[in-house]
Structure 1
Amino acid sequence: MPVALANSEGEDVDADVCIIGAGPAGISIARELAGSGIRVCLLESGGLNVERRAQRLSRGEIDGYPLHLLEESRVRAFGGTLRHPHLMDGGWAARPLDPIDFESRPERPESGWPFDRDHLIPYYVRAQHDCGLAPYDLVNGDPTADGRPAAPVQDVEVETTLFQFSDADFQDALPLLTNSSNVRVLLHCRVAGIMTDPSRGRVESITAVRADRSRVVVRPRVVVLATGGIENARLLLTADNGHGLGNEHDLVGRYFGERMALPVGNLVLSGRKTVDDAAFFFRRNDATGALRITERIQRDKGLLNCAFYLVPRPAAAATPAIRSLSTLHKAIVRRPRIDGLGTHLRNVVGDLPAVADMALSAVVSRPRTLMLRAQGEHAPNRDSRVSLGSHRDDLGIPVARVTWQPTARDRESIRTSTGILDAVFRSSGFGYLKTMFDDVPATLVEGSHHHMGTTRMNVDPRKGVVDADSRVHSVANLYVAGSSVFPTYGASNPTLTIVALSLRLADHLRSVLTHG
């Protein structure tokens, strides 16, 4: 069916499944159900491309640790945040969660998934195909499984792993969906209300509003929220005329997770061979190497999972020209007006040798000093949360307020892991870390645009918002897709797991709707 919505006021749409959100989760489910005979209505608040008007709908309030502005870290468009300008050139990093991420561990209170990683492997295999990724050994995570050379750093305490890059933005799903007689895609159509029948414990209708203020009412058999780790919680908190859904135990929005990203030191390589070996970690187009503490050591020392990346640091990076070039790039991506444009352009033009040196260094040089960056999980924390803010959007609905609360213990885990890496670097002759922090400064910690955990999965309704099938415990026909269901966060970027879980949910919905 076409990507459109009639402008008639009060249009009704009957559907077997109403999917709210056309990001990787929602599109994956819709694509799996295309051609099945199951009537699918896919609602997306944005359009086919990223638009400023739609992005303004993502504005919200930030508390606690600093995060990227909510309208900058989320994209409302067909394809979701995979359409983010920062991902359009280099793609996004893909890797399954590790087996340890699914375990209940004392250093991660309220941790543990209802199933282990082995259960997800068939869905990871399908997800890798859908995301255009090369298959590799999921069981052992062997970075040499596809014929690559051996990793330069491997030890009983430290192992090397690979993150593949995908350029999939799910635009290729659009022709399939629009040509499927059982799928209707409604763009520029944001949800204004989710109404239930309390006597039946079911969602009865979804009210959506278009940019021209015309309304559509969807009457579905099943509803799937697939709007991301922040918006899923906001929709539940504001549902049923503000009474909320699924929040009988005050869990909706709590346990908000992000990946803590920060520089932890500079690695000085010991010689020419190690300089060449270090290229394993960054000099490739389809993947990047990363270091992590082995799972045995994580368990023995009570450490949280963390990935460490080696990043080249050209000498020119400290010059005003390079800083101005970076400022210009960020400003062009983030906002239409650039403060001090003339000054920045003069800096760049006035020191073209530094700019050329940086470009040349990135391509042909062998930097002897590399930055070591960490991207790690923090323990689930009830006080880290998405709640409703004091401001309201243009429909009168409260905006999201995000409070991110990593703790000193989370930072200490990264510091301890960094120390283990330094010891392995030295003992192996690979190099040594300098300017390593004795303590990880809170001011250096930033988020990674990975919003998780706010509708966490648990078989016990007192500990989770959704059950093992991603169904909201207290609502018979309401499901949640995406990283908001993650009980723990791990050290891998979430998108591949989001797609895997969505394929799993699609299989479940097909069974429920076909066999009852």
Structure 2
Amino acid sequence: MLRNFALLDAKNASIESDLCVIGAGAAGIAIARAFVGTRTRVAVIESGGLGVDRVAQSLNVGANLGLPYYDLAQARERRFGGTTMRWSGRCAPLDPIDFATRPWVPHSGWPIGPEVLDPYYRRAQDVLDVGEYRYDASLWQDIGLEPDGFDPATFAVRFWRIRARRFGHAFRQDLADAANVTVYLNGTVVSLAPDHDANSIRHVVVQSICGREVIVTARHFVLATGGIENARLLLASDEVERAGIGNGRDLVGRFFMEHPKCRVARIETPDPHGLLERWRKQFPRGMPKLWPALVPTAAVQERHGILNSSLAFYYRSAVGMSAAALRARPPGPAAIARSMAEIPANLVRRYVRRRSVVFAPQALHLLARGEQAPDRNSRVVLSNDRDALGQRRADLDWRLGEIDKRSARVLTELAATEFARLRLGRIMPAAWLSDGSPDGWPLPRPGDATQDHHDHLQGGNHHIGTTRMATDPSRGVTDADARVFGKANLFVAGSSVFPTSGWANPTLTIVALALRLADHLKARLP
């Protein structure tokens, strides 16, 4: 059932459950659904409501201390369904190399292998409703296209499956009808209280904005509040345990990773529209949307000492530019006429339907989405500022290193070689790739109306690695079962447990890990 925490009977000073899941995003909902119909009593605590709430969102406010990043108040959503309520639905699994310990990538290696997650990936496909568990180059045949012939020893073709399933809509009724699951909306967990021996969590304290406070007891607890808030909750428990729960080795909040993305090259090609149509979103009938990308093979990554990243193809269209940018650099009538003449009639119809009008000439470019190398100095830290509930806020110090930039440069050089060999066109690398700075990235230019959002460094709103899993507490915060080291009944769900990020968007792996954790908890909660 769904209940509003703020409207609970004043006599209810406590809530008892077998399992308490903190957060109702992709991970929290996946775990709760796995228990529907069982004899386990599940309490799900969600800070927001069914829709976006300005006051709940204000709890996300924090400062960006490192590289420019998104406004932290808007980079995640406190609501039932979490950030899936506004995501693109882009899904892909991690590659086998992402789980491996790579000598050229410090702090790499998972305590589990890809074979452990494989059956859960297949189950996650159903939860996300993204079709068959297949992401490789064989999908070219399914959509009726021939591959472009990129050297398979250099590049592997991977596909994203794209279907924006909103968990808050798709699974709301499932949980509302469940007799053994109660979702408490508009209640924020403000503290974790360890048992007298400090080896387990006794209860959590939940508050509403209006000042209501309730204690929730359970046999097991799962933090599923996202990569920033999971770390903040553990760090903010420093009044209970020195330095915070699970932070005896100063690892909570560290190793924050994103998927840095940026334009890396312009493509000069005689057939820009043909190339774009092949490598942009595909819409085969009866299948989820598919979007191909080029990914360096494991052998190439090892040979060049680079990260697992991807390349995709983009146009910069006139309609994609801001009004100020168009005024500053409008396409002339002759350029518009030439562009229209080059576009086949079927493409014109397709893009008119999408309300795109005309592409600027020679605006095709390569966009790199990078794996970020784990860096302990890239981190979430506690602020001295406090939110409306009196809790210390989370600030973000996002950092990138030499290997991150070098990987983007090498990836672009490999693409240039392949384009020349296949006579697809000429790759013109962006100047920032070779500007002499080992870790310099193009940053936003305040006040420049002509810049496109792909002109400068961005992330994907993916908050990864801040409670990483490891084989022992000297290397991470959680073990292979996502249990916080030193706590018998506290677990973490979400991308914060990823030791490395890979190139793929994290949600499919988040759900797969959540389903695995649910199975583990079922064994502990007979």
TM superposition score normalised by structure 1: 0.87
The residue aligned with 1:224 is: 222
Secondary structure in 1 matching 2:90 = strand
The residue aligned with 2:310 is: 307
Secondary structure in 1 matching 2:219 = strand
The residue aligned with 1:49 is: 51
Query: C-alpha separation between the residues in 2 aligned to 1:217 and 1:163?
Result: 42
Judge conservation of contact 2:246–2:252 (CA < 8 Å) in 1.
yes
Q: 1:144 to 1:404 in 2, by over 3 A?
A: same
Query: Which whole-Å deviations, capped at 9, do the CAs of 1:55-114 have from their partners, x for residues lacking one?
Result: 111001211111101111111100101123xx3xxx321100111111111221111011
Judge conservation of contact 2:482–2:497 (CA < 8 Å) in 1.
yes
Counterpart of 1:32 (choices 34, 40, 44) is 34
Secondary structure in 2 matching 1:313 = strand
Counterpart of 1:385 (choices 379, 386, 389) is 379
Letter in 2 for 1:513: L
Judge conservation of contact 2:117–2:512 (CA < 8 Å) in 1.
yes
Q: 1:121 to 1:432 in 2, by over 3 A?
A: same
Matched, 1:117 2:111: no
The residue aligned with 2:13 is: 11
Cα distance, 1:252 vs structure 2: 0.5
Q: 1:56 to 1:103 in 2, by over 3 A?
A: same
Judge conservation of contact 2:47–2:56 (CA < 8 Å) in 1.
yes
Secondary structure in 1 matching 2:525 = helix
Matched, 1:77 2:79: yes
Secondary structure in 2 matching 1:193 = strand
Judge conservation of contact 2:319–2:357 (CA < 8 Å) in 1.
no
Query: C-alpha separation between the residues in 2 aligned to 1:150 and 1:82?
Result: 33
Cα distance, 1:318 vs structure 2: 5.7
The residue aligned with 1:268 is: 268
Q: What's the C-alpha RMSD, in Å, of the aligned pairs?
A: 2.5
Q: 1:148 to 1:368 in 2, by over 3 A?
A: farther
Query: C-alpha separation between the residues in 2 aligned to 1:475 and 1:234?
Result: 17
The residue aligned with 1:494 is: 506
Counterparts of residues 424-503 of structure 1 (less than 5 Å): 424-437=418-431, 438-439=433-434, 441-442=440-441, 443=443, 444-503=456-515
The residue aligned with 2:139 is: 143
Secondary structure in 2 matching 1:417 = helix
Counterparts of residues 363-402 of structure 1 (less than 5 Å): 369-402=363-396
Query: C-alpha separation between the residues in 1 aligned to 2:200 and 2:310?
Result: 42
Query: C-alpha separation between the residues in 2 aligned to 1:229 and 1:100?
Result: 23
Query: C-alpha separation between the residues in 2 aligned to 1:25 and 1:291?
Result: 28
Judge conservation of contact 2:227–2:464 (CA < 8 Å) in 1.
yes
Cα distance, 1:388 vs structure 2: 0.5
Query: C-alpha separation between the residues in 2 aligned to 1:364 and 1:62?
Result: 37
The residue aligned with 2:182 is: 184
Cα distance, 1:278 vs structure 2: 3.5
Letter in 2 for 1:247: N
Q: Which runs of 5+ in 1 are unaligned?
A: 326-346, 348-352
Cα distance, 1:119 vs structure 2: 1.8
Counterparts of residues 262-301 of structure 1 (less than 5 Å): 262-269=262-269, 271-272=270-271, 275-285=273-283, 286-301=289-304
Cα distance, 1:162 vs structure 2: 0.9
Judge conservation of contact 1:195–1:241 (CA < 8 Å) in 2.
no
Cα distance, 1:323 vs structure 2: 5.2
Secondary structure in 1 matching 2:17 = strand
Secondary structure in 1 matching 2:134 = coil
Secondary structure in 1 matching 2:34 = helix
Query: Which whole-Å deviations, capped at 9, do the CAs of 1:112-164 have from their partners, x for residues lacking one?
Result: 011221221111111111111011436x5643364542332521212222111
Q: 1:38 to 1:148 in 2, by over 3 A?
A: farther
Matched, 1:130 2:127: yes
The residue aligned with 2:519 is: 507
Secondary structure in 2 matching 1:279 = helix
Q: 1:36 to 1:318 in 2, by over 3 A?
A: closer
Counterparts of residues 338-357 of structure 1 (less than 5 Å): none
Secondary structure in 2 matching 1:383 = coil
Q: 1:513 to 1:240 in 2, by over 3 A?
A: farther
- Residue-pair matches, total: 479
Letter in 2 for 1:119: V
